[in-house]
Structure 1
Amino acid sequence: MSVGENIKRIRKEKGLTQKQLGELCGLADSAIRRYENGGANPKIETKKKIANALEVPVEDIDPDLESLTKSLIMKEKERKMEEIEHIIKFLNSRTTLTDAEEEQLTEQQKLKIIELKKKGLENLQNIHLSIATELHNEEETQLQELRNTFISLNQDGKYLVLKYSDMLFRDERYRGKMIHPSKIKDIPQD
C-alpha cells in the first residue's frame, strides 16, 4: 500500500474525517486529501505528525521507513563495534607500566590493575560479541526475507534482482563490513 492509502485506511479505522485528522496534526484537510489521493507525498516530519495524530508508529504509514530505521540502527551498531575494537587495541597495547609507574605501586596494586584491565577487556569483548551477534542475526533475517521475495518472483523479476544486485556489489558505496562473531579474538592472558 502507498503512504496515502495507509493514511486513509488508518484514519478511517480511527473514525476520523480528513478535516479532523488535519486539525489533530496541524494540517489543512486539503493537504490530507492530497496525501491520501497520491497527489503529494508528505515529508518525513509530516508523516511523523500524522502518525502521532493517528496514534500509530510512523512505519505503519510508511513501511519503507522501517527498513531505513533498521539500516541506521545497524550502522550505529557497526560504529559502536569499531569504537570498541579501537579501545580493545588500545588496552592491549598498554600491557606494561613505565618504570616510574611500576616503582610507585605495591605488588597488590599491580595485580589489581591487571585484574581490572582483564575484566574491562572481557566486558568490552562481551559487548562486542553481543553486537556482532545481533548484526549477524539481523543479516540472516534480511537474507531470509530476500530469499522469500526472490522465490515469489517470475523469471524476469529474478533476472532483474540478480542484475541490480551485481550492479550494487560493484559500487563500493553499497558494500558493507560485517564481522562474524567467530572472528572476535580471544582475551589475552596476562
Structure 2
Amino acid sequence: MDMRRLVGRNVRRVRLEKGLTQEQFADVSGFSQQYLSSLERGRRNPTVVTLYELAQALGVSHIELVTPDEEATVEAKKSRRRTRQ
C-alpha cells in the first residue's frame, strides 16, 4: 500500500471514530472539505507539517496517521507476492 492511501485511510478512520463529518473536520482543521476528501481517497500527498496539523485537529499523534493497520499489512504482503511471481 502506498503512503498516500495509508494516510488517507487512517485520517478517515480516526475522523469517523471521533464522530466528525468531513465538513466538521474541515472547520476544526482549517483545511477545505475538498482537500480532506481528496486526502482520504489517497489522491493527496500531505507534507509533514500537514500531517502534524491534521493529527492535532483530530487529537491524535501524527504517528497514528502513518502507522499501517492490519489491513494495510495484509495488502502489502499480497502486493509483494504478486511482484515476485
- Give TM-score, length-normalised by structure 1: 0.33
Give yes or no for the alignment of 1:63 onto 2:60: no
* The one of 42, 47, 51 aligned to 1:43: 47
Runs of 4+, deviation exceeding 3 Å: none
% identical aligned pairs: 32
**Aligned residue-pair number:** 68
Shift of 1:60: 0.4
Deviations 1:73-121 (A, max 9, x none): xxxxxxxxxxxxxxxxxxxxxxxxxxxxxxxxxxxxxxxxxxxxxxxxx
Structure 2 match to 1:10: 14
Q: Distance in 1 between matches of 2:22 and 2:47?
A: 18
The gaps in structure 1 that reach 5 residues or longer are 65-152, 161-190
Aligned counterparts, 1:73-152, within 5 A: none
Tell me the amino acid that sits aligned with residue 7 of structure 1: V
Q: What's the RMSD between the two structures over aligned residues?
A: 2.1
Look up the SS of the partner of 1:38 in the other structure.
Answer: coil
8 Å Cα contact 1:22/1:29 also seen in 2: yes
8 Å Cα contact 1:21/1:50 also seen in 2: no
More contact order relative to length (CA 8 Å, sep ≥ 6):
2
- Give TM-score, length-normalised by structure 2: 0.71
Give yes or no for the alignment of 1:54 onto 2:58: yes
